[in-house]
Structure 1
Amino acid sequence: MPHLHFTPQLRRFTETPQLHCEAGSVREALEAAFMLNPKLRGYVLDDQGDLRPNVAVFVDGRRTLDPAAPLGADSQVHVLQALSGG
C-alpha cells in the first residue's frame, strides 16, 4: 500500500497526515490526505487542481509534476514545499 509523507515545512501551517492508503495515483493519495485535513489542499494544489509551483512531489525518489502519476503497491510519496530566500 503506498505511503504518503509530508515534510515539516508544511506542518508549520497545518496538520500533515502521514498515511498508508489505497491509491493508484499521486492524486488519489493526496485526496486521501485532504479527506483527513481539507485545509491541506490549498497548500498543495492550485485553483485548477494542479500542483503549486512551490510544491515538489517525489515518487520512489523521482520527482513528478503530474498528479496523475501512477503509484506501485509499495510506493513512497514525499510531498515537500520548496523554500526560497537567502
Structure 2
Amino acid sequence: MARIEFTPQLHRFVDTPVVDTPVATLREGLDAAFAVNGRLRGYILDDQGHLRPNVVVFIDGRRARDLRGLTDPLGPSSRVHVLQALSGG
C-alpha cells in the first residue's frame, strides 16, 4: 500500500495522519488522508483543488509533476511526502 506522510511542521496547525492506502494516484492518496482529517485539505489544496503554492509533494523521492490534477501514479510500495515549502527573509 502507498504511504502518505506530512511534514512535522504542518502538525503544529492540524493533525497530520500517516495513511497507508491502496490507491493509484496522488489525488486518491490525498483524499484518503483528508477522509481521516478533513481540516487538512485546506492546508494542502486551494479552492480549485490544486496544490497550494507553498506545498511540495515528493513521490518515491521525486517531485510530483501534476500540481493541478494530481494524477501522478502511485505504486503499491510508493512513499509520498507532503511538505510545506519554507520561505523567509
Task: Give the TM-score taking structure 1 as reference length.
Answer: 0.96
Secondary structure of the residue aligned to 2:53 is coil
Moved over 4 A (4+): none
1:79 is aligned to 2:78: no
Alignment of 1:62-73 (within 5 A): 62-66=62-66, 67-73=70-76
Letter in 2 for 1:59: I
Which residue in the other structure is 2:60 paired with? 60
Alignment of 1:30-69 (within 5 A): 30-66=30-66, 67-69=70-72
What 5-or-longer segments of structure 1 have no aligned partner?
Answer: none
- Deviation, 1:65, is 3.7
What 5-or-longer segments of structure 2 have no aligned partner?
Answer: none
Secondary structure of the residue aligned to 1:47 is coil
Letter in 1 for 2:62: R
Task: Give the TM-score taking structure 2 as reference length.
Answer: 0.93
**Equivalent residues, number:** 86
Find the aligned partners of 1:72 and 1:10 in 2 and give their Cα distance.
25
Which residue in the other structure is 2:8 paired with? 8
Percent identity between matched residues is 60
CA-to-aligned-CA distance 1:22-64 (integer Å, 9 cap, x gap): 1100110000000010000000000000000100000000001
Find the aligned partners of 1:68 and 1:10 in 2 and give their Cα distance.
23
The alignment's C-alpha RMSD in Å is: 0.8
